[in-house]
Amino acid sequence: MKPVIEVEHLNLSQNGNFVLEDINLTIREHEFHAIIGPNGGGKTTLLKVILGLIRPDSGMVRVMDGTPDEMRSHLGYVPQFRTFDFQFPISVQDMVVSGRLGRLKGPFRRFTHEDTDAADEAMETMQITHLKNLPIHDISGGERQRAIIARALAGKPSVLLLDEPTVYVDGPTAVRFYDILSQLRESITIVLVTHDISALSPDVTHISCVNRRLFTHGDNQITDDMLAGAYPCPVELIAHGVPHRVITEHDNRVFGGRK
Amino acid sequence: MIEALGFEFFRNALIARFLASIACGVIGSFVVVKRMASLAGGISHAAFGGIGLGYFLGIDPLAGAAAVALGTSGATAWIRMKADQHLDTLVGAVWATGMAAGILFIYITPGFAPDLFSYLFGNILLVPRGTLWLMALLTAGICTIVAILYPRLVAVTFDEEYAAVMDLHPNRIMVILLLLTGLTVVMLIQIVGIILVIALLTLPAATARLFSRSMKELIVGASLLGIVFTTAGIWLSYAFDIPSGATIVIVSACVYFGALPLQRRIQEHRQTS
C-alpha cells in the first residue's frame, strides 16, 4: 500500500519544552490508524503538524508525496468537539456544505449542485439527513459530532483525521459511530486520535502511542512497552468483545484487533 | 411624528438611521457571532483619539478618526495572528488610550474645542445632506464586500481553524472584517457617536441572534431591529425632547434584556413543533 502520510525525525518544542520529539510515523492507504496517548501528550499537535497548521522545528512531513500545504485539500479534519461554538446560527446542511469551500475557486465561491450533492451524500453517510434543516444548536451531542464529520466528508478527502471523536457520545452511539467509520475505510484512510483506549474500535488496523515520543509496532497491538513508554502510570487494558474484562499482566498482551 | 416629517432635519435623521442600521446589522452580526464586541468597542474609542488628533493637527477630524480606526483594526488583526491570548487585555489598553488621547488632544488644541458629549452620543437629528450621500456610498460598499465574501466570512467566523485547513486564508478574511468594522465605526462616529456605534453594532445583532437559525436571518433580523430601535428612539427623543442617541441605546438595551428570557421558550417551541 502507498504511504499517504510520512513523518520523519520530527521535532517540535513550545515554550522551551519538547512537545514532540523524534517522531517517525508512516500511515498507508486504507489503514484505520489510531493514535493513542495521555492528555497533553502531543496527539492533537501531531495532527496539526500533519495538517500544516503548525510548523515543526525540524524533520519532514509528507502528505501524499507533497507538503501538507500543497496536499491539504486531500485531508479531511474533524477537530475536537469543544472547539465549536454551537450557538452559531447555522443549519446542519449549511455547516456540512461549508466543507466544500476549499474546493471552490474565484472571488465569489458560490456552491453548485456538485457541492450540495456531496453534502447530501456526506449527511446520508453519517445518517443525519433528517436533521439537515435544523440549527446545530438544536441537535444532540452525538448528532453534532456526526455533523462535524459530515463536513469533513463533504470535501471528499483521501484521508480523514479525527481528534477525540467519541468524547461526547455514549457507548451505544460510539459503537454505531465506529461501524460508520469502518465502512468509510473502504474508500479512505482514517487516522483517529484518542486518549480513551477503552473506546477503541476493533476494526483499528494500526495503533501508535504518543506521549512526546511515538511508540508503535506497526500493527494493531498495544503492548506493555508502548504503554510504559507513553503513559506515566500503569495502565489497565480492557479487551474488546468481552466487555469490561481487564487483561492481566500475564495475559496474551493482545488488545483488540480482528485478524 | 407625522408633522415632524415636514422638517428636512427629521427626514435626514430617518435616512441616516436607516443606513446606520443596515451597516451595523451586517457588520454587527459578524461581530456578535465572532464574539468581538469588545474589540469593536476598542476600535471605536481609538477612533475618538483620532478625532482629537485631527483637531490638533488642524485636519478633518473624520480623516484622523479614519486613519486611527483603520490602523487599529489592521494592528489588531496582526496581533491576533501572533498572540491570540493577550488580545483581551490589549483591547482594554487601546480603549482607554484612545479615549484619553482624544480628550487631551481636544483640550490642548487652541481655539474652538468641540463638545465631548457630541462624540459620545452624537446627534442624529443634525445630519447634513452631503453626509447622507457619503453614508449611502459607504453602506453600499460594505454590503457589496460582505456579499462577495459571504461564504468565506461565515466559514471563518464559525471555525477559523477549519477555514485554514480549507486554504481560505482566515487571517486575510479577519483583516477585511476588522477593517470593515473600523470603516463602519468611522462612518457613524460623527453622526451617532461612539456609544451608539457600539450599541448599534451589538444590541440589534445580539437580540436577533436569540431567534435566528442562520447568518442570513441574523443579518436581516439585526438590520430590521436596528431600524425599529432607532425609529423608536428618534420618535421618543422628538416627543419628549430628550437626547436622541442615549434614547436609542436605552430602547435597544430594554428590548435585548427583555428578549433574553424569551429565548429558551422560543427554542423549546421550535423543537417540539
Give the ipTM.
0.88
Distance separating the N- and C-terminal Cα atoms of chain A: 18
CA dist A241 → A198, A246, B198 (Å) = 12, 12, 59
Average pLDDT, chain B: 89
- Predicted local distance difference test score (pLDDT) of residue A185: 87
Query: Is residue A258, in this structure, part of any structural domain at all?
Result: no
Q: Which are the contacts of B26, defined by CB distance < 8 A and separation ≥ 6?
A: B142, B143, B146, B219, B222, B223
**A86 is written with which cell numbers?**
454551537
pLDDT at A166 over 90: no
Query: Do residue A89 and residue B218 have CB atoms under 8 angstroms apart?
Result: yes
Query: Is residue A124, in this structure, part of any structural domain at all?
Result: no
* Beta bridge pairs of residue B37: none
Confidence category of residue A254, pLDDT binned at 50, 70, 90 = very low
Query: Is residue A236, in this structure, part of any structural domain at all?
Result: yes
Domain count for chain B: 1
Query: Is residue A119, in this structure, part of any structural domain at all?
Result: no
Q: Which are the contacts of A194, defined by CB distance < 8 A and separation ≥ 6?
A: A34, A35, A36, A43, A164, A165, A166, A200
- Predicted local distance difference test score (pLDDT) of residue A244: 34
Does the beta carbon of B89 lie under 8 angstroms from any beta carbon of chain A? no
Rounded distance, CA B216 to CA B150, Å?
10
Nearest to A186 by CA among A32, A81, A49, A21: A32
- The residue-averaged pLDDT of B125-129 equals 83
Give the rounded distance of the alpha carbon of B143 from its chain centre.
14
Contact predicate A237/A222, CB 8 Å: yes
Rounded distance, CA A198 to CA B35, Å?
37
Confidence category of residue A259, pLDDT binned at 50, 70, 90 = very low
pTM, two decimal places: 0.89
For residue B265, the domain's CATH number is: 1.10.3470.10
Nearest to B232 by CA among B47, B14, B86, B85: B14
Does the beta carbon of A146 lie under 8 angstroms from any beta carbon of chain B? no
Query: Is residue A63, in this structure, part of any structural domain at all?
Result: yes
Structural domain harbouring B228: 3-272
Contact predicate A147/A92, CB 8 Å: yes
Percentage of chain B exceeding pLDDT 90: 56
**Chain B residue numbers touching A90 (CB-CB < 8 A):** 154, 158, 214-215
Domain count for chain A: 1
Does the beta carbon of A109 lie under 8 angstroms from any beta carbon of chain B? yes
Does the beta carbon of B218 lie under 8 angstroms from any beta carbon of chain A? yes
Contact predicate A84/A92, CB 8 Å: no
User: Rounded to the nearest 10 degrees, how much is the dihedral formed by the CA atoms of A29, A31, A37, A43?
Assistant: 30
Query: Which of A128-132, B52-56, B117-121 bottoms out in mean pLDDT, i.e. has the lowest?
Result: B117-121
For residue A199, the domain's CATH number is: 3.40.50.300
Three-class SS state of A135: strand
Rounded distance, CA A138 to CA A111, Å?
25
CA distance B133 to chain A (A): 28
Query: Is residue A226, in this structure, part of any structural domain at all?
Result: yes
Query: Do residue A53 and residue B166 have CB atoms under 8 angstroms apart?
Result: no
Nearest to B148 among A75, A99, A108 (CB): A108
Confidence category of residue A252, pLDDT binned at 50, 70, 90 = very low
Does the beta carbon of A21 lie under 8 angstroms from any beta carbon of chain B? no
CA distance A73 to chain B (A): 7
Does the beta carbon of A60 lie under 8 angstroms from any beta carbon of chain B? no
Query: Do residue A83 and residue B161 have CB atoms under 8 angstroms apart?
Result: yes
Query: Do residue B162 and residue A77 have CB atoms under 8 angstroms apart?
Result: yes
CA atoms within 13 A on the CB side of A96: 34
φ, ψ of residue A61 in degrees (nearest 5): -125, 125
CA distance A51 to chain B (A): 7
Average pLDDT, chain A: 85
| Tens-digit pLDDT profile for residues A69-98 | 999 999 999 999 888 999 999 999 999 999
Query: Do residue A107 and residue B148 have CB atoms under 8 angstroms apart?
Result: yes
Determine the angle formed by the axes of helices A171-184 and A113-125, rounding to 10 degrees. Answer: 130
Query: Is residue A126, in this structure, part of any structural domain at all?
Result: no
**Chain B residue numbers touching A75 (CB-CB < 8 A):** 165
- The residue-averaged pLDDT of B111-117 equals 68
- The secondary structure of residue A13, as a DSSP letter, is E
**Chain B residue numbers touching A137 (CB-CB < 8 A):** 267
Structural domain harbouring A185: 3-85+157-247
Query: Is residue A93, in this structure, part of any structural domain at all?
Result: no
- The residue-averaged pLDDT of B196-200 equals 90
Contacts 24+ apart (CB under 8 A), B159-166: B159/A79, B159/A83, B159/A84, B161/A53, B161/A79, B161/A83, B162/A77, B162/A79, B162/A99, B162/A151, B163/A101, B164/A53, B165/A51, B165/A53, B165/A72, B165/A75, B165/A77, B165/A102, B166/A72, B166/A73, B166/A99, B166/A101, B166/A102, B166/A155
What residues of chain A, 149 to 168, have a C-beta less than 8 Å from chain B? 151, 155
Nearest to A75 among B165, B209, B212 (CB): B165
